[in-house]
Amino acid sequence: MSCSCSSVKTAAARHFDESRIQKELESYRSAGPGPTTLGLLSQILPQEPMPETALDIGSGIGAISLELLEAGVKQTICVDMSPAALAANAEEARQRGLGDRIERVEADFVAIAPMLPLVDLVVLDRVVCCYPSYAPLLEHATGRSRRLLALSYPRDRWWVKCAMGIENAWRGIRGDDFRSFVHRASAIAEVLQRGGFTRSRELSTFAWQMELYTRR
C-alpha cells in the first residue's frame, strides 16, 4: 500500500500532541519504560560489545534512548514526527544530564533516512504499526545499521486486529486521522532478512512482538 509521507507526518503530529505526550512523560517518570521498551532493552543490553551509537526511529519521548544512554550507549539520534514528543524528549534529557548526547530530528524517517549517519543500533519501538507501508521504513532502517536492529510491533493475531480496528474506528469518529496497522510477521522478517539481518532474539506478550536482529 502506498502512502503520502506528508499525510502520515501530519496525522502523527496531531495525534501525539502536547496533551498526549505530557501524559506519556508523566507515566514514564512515575512507572518507568513500558512493556515493549523493557522487552527490547532486555535483548539489547546483554549484547557485547555495547553499541556506541543508536538511531531511535519514532522515538516519542525518547524512553528507550534515555535508558540506552544511561546503560552505556554514547550517542543517540531521535527521529520523530511530533514536535511535542521531541520537546518532551529534550526536557527529560536535560533533567537527566543527557542533553548533549541526543540529537533530535523532527521528520518522517523514510523521507530523510539517506541523510542520517550509520549507527551500531537502530531501534523501532512501536513504530512499524504507525506506517501503512512498512517495507520502505524497514528497508531504510536496515540501511542505517552497522550491526543491530531491534523492533516491536503488534502480533498478527485476530484479537489484536479486532482491538486495533476498534481503536481506529473511534479515532475516525473523533476526527483523528492517525491510524494503526497490523502487518504480517513473516513479511516484516522477509524485509529485514533481505537487508542483511538475521533474527537472534525474540519475546512476545499477548499483543506485542519484540525482536532483535543482527547483521549477517
Quote the CA–CA distance of 35 and 128 in Å, as a whole number. Answer: 16
pTM of the model: 0.93
CA-based R_g, the chain, Å: 16
The tens digit of pLDDT for each residue in 174-195 reads 999 999 999 999 999 999 999 9
3-state secondary structure of 124: strand
Does residue 201 carry a pLDDT above 90?
yes
- What pLDDT shows up at residue 5? 52
Does residue 138 carry a pLDDT above 60?
yes
Position 25: which residue type? L
3-state secondary structure of 75: strand
Quote the CA–CA distance of 39 and 112 in Å, as a whole number. Answer: 28
Quote the CA–CA distance of 16 and 18 in Å, as a whole number. Answer: 7
- 135 contacts 108 by C-beta, under 8 angstroms: no
Domains in the chain with CATH codes: 5-215 (3.40.50.150)
For every residue of 192-208, which 3-state class applies, written as one string? HHHCCEEEEEEEECCCE
- What pLDDT shows up at residue 157? 96
The tens digit of pLDDT for each residue in 21-75 reads 999 999 999 999 999 999 999 999 999 999 999 999 999 999 999 999 999 999 9
